[in-house]
Amino acid sequence: MARTREIVIKSTHRGLRYEDGRLTEVLEAGRYELPDTEHRRRNTPVVEVVLVDMRERELLLKGQEILTSDKVAVRVSIITQYRVVDPAAALEKVESYADRLYSDVQLAARRSLASMTLEGILTNRNRLSEDILGDVQEAASGYGIAILRADVKDLVFPGNLQEIMNRVLATERLSEAQLVEARTKAEREAIEARSKAETERIAAQARRETELVKAQGRAQTQRLQAESDAEALRLHAEAAGAYADHPVLLRVRELETLARLATNAEARLYIGFDKHAELQHAE
């Protein structure tokens, strides 16, 4: 009976099973029995298991000196987090996936920085990280590596350039803040002007409506007064006609008027006696 040996693969790893140097299987976590290579029979295959770590790992590129598009040398440090997702590709397609990943990140950083100016790097540092991440993700997927993140950790500039650029950035931020403040002030003034114009429009409309109501009221009053005057004239005309047709009614009206005057102690009544005497004398 052939002797066997036992191996255990942890959940953090995967095993590549080789028979006579050929990859035959990717082993998941668990316990496996393999032929004992020291006491194997003749013509039985040589079985070997290579473990691959599947945990997340970190790669640091420190102090890479690279020229920008405007020929300024900067030193950049980049942190890349990654993990193996295809253990067979990671071991079969490249000699060392860690070394290959180091080179890919380095080249991606050089390509990105070479296309950016110094000012662009300072004002948009995220673009550098995004460029590196996008470039390396595509390359690393070809040999079984997933890039989780790639961030610029440090940027170092030559001489006093750092201080100069910091002052430039501070000035730009101040200018942006002043621009925002000016825009805010202009928008506030525009809103206030629109509000004032709307208030004046509403007030003018209210005044016009008030004047219209007053004019309508005056016209109505004048119409009613005219109708009242016309009615009074009509009544007077009817009364005059009645007095002309019936003189006795006029006499009765005179007597009623005298009676009302008699009730007023201060009323004075003047009767033309001289004219009456002249009429008697003439007779």
State both tokens at 179.
Answer: 């621009």
Q: Cα 251 to chain center, whole Å? A: 95
- pLDDT class of 278 with cuts at 50, 70, 90: low
148/81 Cα distance (integer angstroms):
5
Task: Provide the CA 91 distance to its chain's centre, in angstroms.
Answer: 49
Check residue 40 and give its pLDDT. Answer: 61
Whether residue 15 contacts residue 52, with contact meaning beta carbons closer than 8 Å, is answered with yes
CA distance 152 to 105: 11
Percent of the chain with pLDDT over 70: 86
190 vs 235, more confident: 190
Cα→Cα distances 242→125, 235, 247, Å? 112, 10, 8
Query: For residue 143, what pLDDT is reported?
Result: 95
φ/ψ region of 250 (left if φ > 0, alpha if ψ in -120 to 50, else beta) reads alpha
DSSP reduced 3-state for 215: helix
Q: 97 in helix, strand or coil?
A: helix
Lowest-pLDDT range of 2-16, 117-131, 249-263: 249-263
Q: Pick from 75, 68, 81, 80: which is nearest to 154 by CA?
A: 75
Look up the pTM and report it. 0.54
pLDDT at 144 over 80: yes
- Select from 147, 109, 146 the least CA-distant residue to 129: 109
* pLDDT beyond 80 at 10: yes
For 80, the token pair is 């890349």
Cα–Cα dist 16/5, whole Å: 16
Ranges 75-79, 126-130, 159-163: which has the least confidence: 159-163
In this prediction, residues 161-185 reach a mean pLDDT of 76
